[in-house]
């Protein structure tokens, strides 16, 4: 008697439960010298937190400008922070958000490009 077990080649690419249902938005305001991030999770989420890093795109690579973290009870977490932002430049905001629902934390990664 032979026992066969198959494993999907895509198992390591599994999406977190909340990945498609979580909305991440980011804004860069050169006039106000601020950037902001909002994470909105599904309605069953009870906690949301995130880490965000603001980069300015350079001719080669990018330069880190600022970073921030925030957390909130409920399904929405938002924060705005001042940063040295220049008009006419392109910025990249990398967001790593954690959403707690159903007794587990899911991590959602987003990269958002913004032209000022």
What 8-state DSSP symbol labels residue 15?
P
Reported as a single tens digit per residue, the pLDDT across 67-115 is 999 999 999 999 999 999 999 999 999 999 999 998 999 999 999 999 9
When pLDDT is cut at 50, 70 and 90, the band that residue 40 belongs to is very high
> Cα–Cα distances in Å, from 56 out to 21, 31, 49, 71?
28, 16, 23, 25
Identify the pLDDT of residue 17.
Answer: 55
Identify the pLDDT of residue 21.
Answer: 84
pLDDT of residue 64 exceeding 60, the answer is: yes
Handedness of CA 100, 65, 26, 35 (dihedral sign): positive
pTM of the model: 0.83
* 34 in Cβ contact with 80 (< 8 Å): yes
pLDDT of residue 15 exceeding 60, the answer is: no
DSSP-derived 3-state class of residue 6 = coil
């Amino acid at each position: 008697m032979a026992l066969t077990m198959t494993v999907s080649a895509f198992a390591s690419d599994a999406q977190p439960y909340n990945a498609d249902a979580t909305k991440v938005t980011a804004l860069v305001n050169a006039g106000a010298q601020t950037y902001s991030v909002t994470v909105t999770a599904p309605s069953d989420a009870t906690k949301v937190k995130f880490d965000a890093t603001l980069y300015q795109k350079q001719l080669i690579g990018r330069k880190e400008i600022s970073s921030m973290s925030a957390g909130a009870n409920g399904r929405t977490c938002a924060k705005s922070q001042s940063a040295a932002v220049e008009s006419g430049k392109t910025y990249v905001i990398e967001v790593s958000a954690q959403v707690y629902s159903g007794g587990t934390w899911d991590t959602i990664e987003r990269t958002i490009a913004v032209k000022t």
